[in-house]
Amino acid sequence: MNGTLCQINGFVGTPTGKPLQKIPVSNGEDIVLTDHRGRFALAADPKLHPIIFVTRPDGTDNARWYTTTPHHDGSVKFVLRRRNRRRSSQRTVHIGHFTDTHFSVRSNMPAVARQLRSDFHQLHRIVPDLELLVGTGDMTNRGDIPSLHQLRRIFNQCACPVIPVFGACDGKNEQRELKTALPHIQHWESVMGPTYFSLDVGPWHLIICPAEDVYFGSTRAEIKRRWLEADLALTAGKRTLLAQHPPPTTAWLEFLGQRGVEAVVCGHWHTSKCYEYAGVTFCCTPPLVVGGVDYMPRGFRTLALGTQKFQVSFKPLTQPQPHKTTIKKQLELKWQVQVPTCLNRGQPVCDAEDVFIPLSDESYSGQSGILCLDADTGRTRWLLHTTHSIRGTLAITPDRVLAVTQAGQVLAVDRTTGRAAWTRTLSGYPHRWIHTGPVVADDVVVAGTGTGGLEAFKIKSGKPQWRWATSRQTTDYLPHFATPLCLGSTIAVMVYHEGVACLSAKTGRLLWRFKAHYDHCHPAMLLHRGWLLVPDAPGRFHALDPRKRHKGRRLWSRRTGTGELNGWACDDQLLVFNTIEYDLSPGGEQIRPLEHITGGMAQARQAGCGRMLWQRGYGKDLVDVMPYRHGSHALAGPLVTPRAIYLAGLDGQIRALDRRTGKRFAALQLGQPIVATASLSSQSLVATTFTGTIARIEAKTVLHER
């Protein structure tokens, strides 16, 4: 204590004046219970304990909070009003979880405010029995007072109570612009109320507890931790959910698990991820307004909190419109399979008579894994469920299927039976954010990312061989899908904002580097006639000589002219790519309204020199998957075959184009956003959609090259 203590006396009761006993009341550090007359007494230092609040019992409205200023001494009165919903500790409570709205009055505020109101309205149409909405941090883009007030008004108009959580961006105005003294949570507390508190909802106890201690300062952070310990001790034995902004560390999950916390919800990474560690279920949700950098659509999660169960479900805010499958001449739908989960950007792998599909599970319902289908009929050969989602493309050998999960578990699976031969975990598991696939080089499999580190294992036994990591980064950082590339006895890997690192496949020793501004949206590198094609920002790509004696010497560079590379493919004559048209202002706040999103663009160039041949557009994104309102509508890379170019878009359409002119001569509309494709032959391909459809399409006839 370093200030003047005030004695706070108060009362907790109903609107009729009936006292409520055993209600927890806190100054942010100590917790006391009301007596049989509803009375309590607390000592508080206004500098260290600026707010007095209660733990709201189940079935009551939000109680107001009080500042510990002298004129409130002895006059604190909390009135708890009953809500219309039935009160029962046995009922199942449905809570909505959204995150990272990054609202700012400096941006296109009227349009974004309208969208937020519309999103909340749509959210309640999708799940009408929501009792509560929890927003896990970065509610504003910089925490300025006007933005906080406007957002508070939007929250107040929602159909159910909204509980916002403080995130790092909500303190930036004080920390970076005004440069005020710590703590940098004063704007938040003046508008939103306490930065941490708790309440009861049905059979569960919900704790709001930000993890950004740097914004609190060491003294206030320690006070917050003591409050959390006291709150957890008071509710020992009750099922508990904690909400914070950044993903928890392993040590923090162990701390919470030892104290009975069963689940943690968070945001920050703008990515979807669910896993369990130390007995704690963890859920990170993509942003409500702009979608995830992992190409998850705008949406939210619902949490069903019951006495015996805890169920999670991801709900996209934009649903594809019902669309009858239509076919234009010369394309034929041979078979179609539906899986009970969404599919991400991991490509199907078509090998001999098999098709291998990586499965991700954003609702944490046990549906993630590896699926093997008969290439001719689409029938399931085998299905292996995994603990975590698999986001990247699988690697195949004559007797093994190799995969790496989003959390960092490497699996080697028997190709014939689908049984796991061995599993290993990467350094940092389960806090990896891996969206790339493994790569096979000779008798080892290499998994990981250039930013978070690569590790090699013997394919046959799983014996660890080597680990390589950059000195500047210790995490995977922004999720990307650029799987490392095997160049014979070497491995080329992209490192976020650093460029290419070329390693020995046998030892992991660094052989050479090439500097490039590699970003999360960029695709993996390509090989063309022995050249290494490398994406770079802004809107560039390079051809390198990857041979050891040339150490990645640049041969030439080109610009796309239409935005950042998002996917590409090539053969000896043609290079075809998709581009993303960025729509962010330098401050990162300008979001294009949904009604103004334009289509994406594909280009074809001569592979040897980069000369433009033709370009074609895509239709509208069916579920608004592209993050930050990018003006592009293709995630699936183009397919370049000897007889045609195949483009697959988030508009649900597969287009067959003439190689020379780009003229479309055949198309098929699946009516669902296509996220990945792979070629079985020059006249057959397999496409996967976000909504879980796997389809084989065949070209009955194609135009021949002229």
- Can you tell me the distance from the alpha carbon of 596 to that of 110, in angstroms, rounded to the nearest whole number? 15
Sign of CA dihedral 261, 266, 272, 277: negative
Mean pLDDT across the stretch 458-462? 97
The pLDDT score that the predictor gives to residue 284 is 96
- Rounded to the nearest 10 degrees, the angle between the axes of helix 145-156 and helix 109-126 is 30
DSSP H helical segments within 127-212, as ranges?
145-156, 172, 186-191
Mean pLDDT across the stretch 290-301? 90
Domain boundaries, the chain: 1-85, 88-316, 318-345+567-706
Beta bridge partners of 158: none
**The amino acid at 646:** Y
- Can you tell me the distance from the alpha carbon of 51 to that of 63, in angstroms, rounded to the nearest whole number? 13
- For residue 338, CA distances in Å to 200, 295, 431, 680, 687 come to 40, 20, 30, 19, 12
| pLDDT > 70 in the chain, percent | 92
Check residues 566 and 241 and name the one with the higher pLDDT.
241
Q: How confident is the model at residue 322 (pLDDT cuts 50, 70, 90)?
A: low
pLDDT digits (tens, 9 = 90+) for 347-399: 999 998 999 999 999 999 999 999 999 999 999 999 999 999 999 999 999 99
Beta bridge partners of 207: 198, 242
Q: Which is nearest to 61 in space by CA: 14, 108, 11, 103?
A: 14
550-577 burial, b for 16+ CB within 10 Å, e for fewer? eebeeeeebebebbbbbbbbbeeebbbb
pLDDT digits (tens, 9 = 90+) for 525-534: 999 989 999 9
The pLDDT score that the predictor gives to residue 319 is 62
**The amino acid at 238:** K
- For residue 140, CA distances in Å to 145, 188, 192, 439, 573 come to 10, 10, 12, 40, 49
Residue 266 in contact with residue 100, Cβ under 8 Å?
no
Beta bridge partners of 639: 646
**Secondary structure in 3-state letters for 428-454:** CCCCCCCCCCCEEECCEEEEEECCCEE
Of 409-418, 474-483, 593-602, give the range with the top mean pLDDT. 409-418
- Can you tell me the distance from the alpha carbon of 115 to that of 337, in angstroms, rounded to the nearest whole number? 35
Mean pLDDT across the stretch 637-644? 93
The pLDDT score that the predictor gives to residue 379 is 98
Q: How deeply is 549 buried, as exposed, middle or buried, from its count of CB atoms within 10 A (0-12, 13-18, 19+)?
A: exposed
Residue 341 in contact with residue 693, Cβ under 8 Å?
no
Lowest-confidence range among 94-98, 175-179, 293-297? 293-297
The bridge status of strand 261-266 relative to strand 280-284 is parallel
Retrieve residue 476's tokens: 């995977």
Residue 80 in contact with residue 65, Cβ under 8 Å?
no
- For residue 60, CA distances in Å to 161, 304, 430 come to 11, 19, 38
- Can you tell me the distance from the alpha carbon of 387 to that of 364, in angstroms, rounded to the nearest whole number? 9
For 210-235, the DSSP string reads ---HHHHHHHHHHHHHHHHHHHHHHT
The H-or-E segment that residue 123 falls in is helix 109-126
Let me know how many helices (H) and strands (E) the chain has, helices first: 6, 51
The pLDDT score that the predictor gives to residue 470 is 84
Mean pLDDT across the stretch 108-132? 88
**Secondary structure in 3-state letters for 640-703:** ECCCCEEEECCCCEEEEECCCCCCEEEEEECCCCEEEEEEEECCEEEEEECCCEEEEEEECCCC
Q: Which is nearest to 526 in space by CA: 359, 638, 685, 402?
A: 638
Q: 318-345+567-706 maps to which CATH number? A: 2.40.128.630
The pLDDT score that the predictor gives to residue 598 is 58
The pLDDT score that the predictor gives to residue 704 is 42
The pLDDT score that the predictor gives to residue 323 is 53
Q: How confident is the model at residue 583 (pLDDT cuts 50, 70, 90)?
A: very low
- Can you tell me the distance from the alpha carbon of 77 to that of 53, in angstroms, rounded to the nearest whole number? 10
Lowest-confidence range among 106-110, 415-419, 522-526? 106-110
Residue 72 in contact with residue 259, Cβ under 8 Å?
no
- Can you tell me the distance from the alpha carbon of 447 to that of 524, in angstroms, rounded to the nearest whole number? 14
- Can you tell me the distance from the alpha carbon of 428 to that of 278, in angstroms, rounded to the nearest whole number? 15
Lowest-confidence range among 22-26, 307-311, 344-348? 307-311
**The amino acid at 564:** E
- Can you tell me the distance from the alpha carbon of 336 to that of 353, in angstroms, rounded to the nearest whole number? 16
DSSP letter, residue 170: G
- Can you tell me the distance from the alpha carbon of 30 to that of 37, in angstroms, rounded to the nearest whole number? 20
Lowest-confidence range among 165-179, 390-404, 454-468, 608-622? 608-622
Tell me the CB-side half-sphere exposure of residue 404, using CA atoms within 13 A.
32
The pLDDT score that the predictor gives to residue 584 is 37
Sign of CA dihedral 245, 250, 252, 255: positive
Q: Which is nearest to 227 in space by CA: 382, 26, 522?
A: 26
pLDDT digits (tens, 9 = 90+) for 147-203: 999 999 999 999 999 999 999 999 999 999 999 999 999 999 999 999 999 999 999
**The amino acid at 297:** P
- Can you tell me the distance from the alpha carbon of 163 to that of 51, in angstroms, rounded to the nearest whole number? 17
Q: How confident is the model at residue 706 (pLDDT cuts 50, 70, 90)?
A: very low
Residue 356 in contact with residue 370, Cβ under 8 Å?
yes
The pLDDT score that the predictor gives to residue 304 is 95
- Can you tell me the distance from the alpha carbon of 631 to that of 449, in angstroms, rounded to the nearest whole number? 27
Retrieve residue 599's tokens: 């289509």
Check residues 630 and 652 and name the one with the higher pLDDT.
652
Q: How deeply is 543 buried, as exposed, middle or buried, from its count of CB atoms within 10 A (0-12, 13-18, 19+)?
A: buried
Select the CATH number that applies to the domain covering 88-316 from these four: 3.40.50.1000, 3.40.50.1820, 2.60.40.420, 3.60.21.10: 3.60.21.10
Retrieve residue 436's tokens: 């790339």
The H-or-E segment that residue 338 falls in is strand 331-338
Residue 50: pLDDT above 70?
A: yes
Q: At 118, phi and psi to the nearest 5?
A: -65, -40
- Can you tell me the distance from the alpha carbon of 617 to that of 602, in angstroms, rounded to the nearest whole number? 6
Helix (H, G, I), strand (E, B) or coil at 120: helix
Residue 246: pLDDT above 50?
A: yes
Beta bridge partners of 31: 26
Retrieve residue 536's tokens: 């770079």
Calculated CA dihedral for residues 647, 361, 520, 575, nearest 10 degrees: -20
Q: How confident is the model at residue 611 (pLDDT cuts 50, 70, 90)?
A: confident
What CATH fold (topology level) applies to the domain 1-85? Answer: Immunoglobulin-like (2.60.40)
For 64-87, the DSSP string reads P-EE--GGGTT-EEEE-PBPSSPP
Residue 594: pLDDT above 50?
A: no
The pLDDT score that the predictor gives to residue 622 is 84
Q: How confident is the model at residue 477 (pLDDT cuts 50, 70, 90)?
A: confident
- Can you tell me the distance from the alpha carbon of 524 to that of 259, in angstroms, rounded to the nearest whole number? 43
